[in-house]
Amino acid sequence: MQKGISKSTLSRLPVYLQYLKSLPKSSTDNISSTMLAGTFCLGEVQVRKDLASVSNAGKPKIGYNVSSLILELENFLGYNNVNDAVIIGAGRLGKALLGFNGFRQYGLNIVAAFDVDENKLGKTPEGKSIITVSEFSNICSRLKIHIGIITVPTESAQAVCNQMIENGILAIWNFAPTHLDVPPNILVHNENMALSLALLSNHLKENTK
């Protein structure tokens, strides 16, 4: 997380960016915090505070230049600086993430996946490599990898997490439905699918009575 920026603000910035990039180029050159607040059902003050973390170019009654704000958001979020990452766990989810080319627009390049199952080793249809876990240390050291993605079963997640940290990984995207114990300097983002499904299910229940 960027220093001085709350997690809630940081979570909203990519949403603003995606929306701005979706606007037709002929629609408007400028956008106000009021328009963004209305679009996302947020307070106008909150939106102004969020954008103040990346830009000071907003003008009263004019707003922000859309093109300039897009560039500022991309630079702040690091989308223009591609970071290499690796996956441990080449099951269906791991392979799907490895083969997804859309991550590059968000500054992420997954260079390879690792697995203990020799039957999974080789090249994917997209040309990405699935490599034996015994090569993990060598690859991370050689390519100076600092982002790791965990897509292994729950019972293996902590051991994989430990292995990543031992080899210089500083940020972990965890898809295993379990808590990981890490040192204070390691960032873990848990992709909690169970929570997401619970929220969706509860919403349906509340709105289909």
Identify the H or E element spanning 74. helix 66-77
- Give the model confidence (pLDDT) of 151-178 as tens digits: 999 999 999 999 999 999 999 999 999 9
1 falls in which pLDDT band (50, 70, 90)?
A: very low
Q: Is the pTM of this model over 0.85?
A: no
What domains can you pick out in the chain, each with its CATH number? 7-77 (1.10.10.10), 83-195 (3.40.50.720)
Q: Going edge to edge, which strands form the sheet with 108-115?
A: 122-123, 129-132, 108-115, 83-88, 147-150, 171-174, 187-190
Beta bridge partners, 190, equal: 174
Q: Is the pLDDT of residue 186 over 90?
A: yes
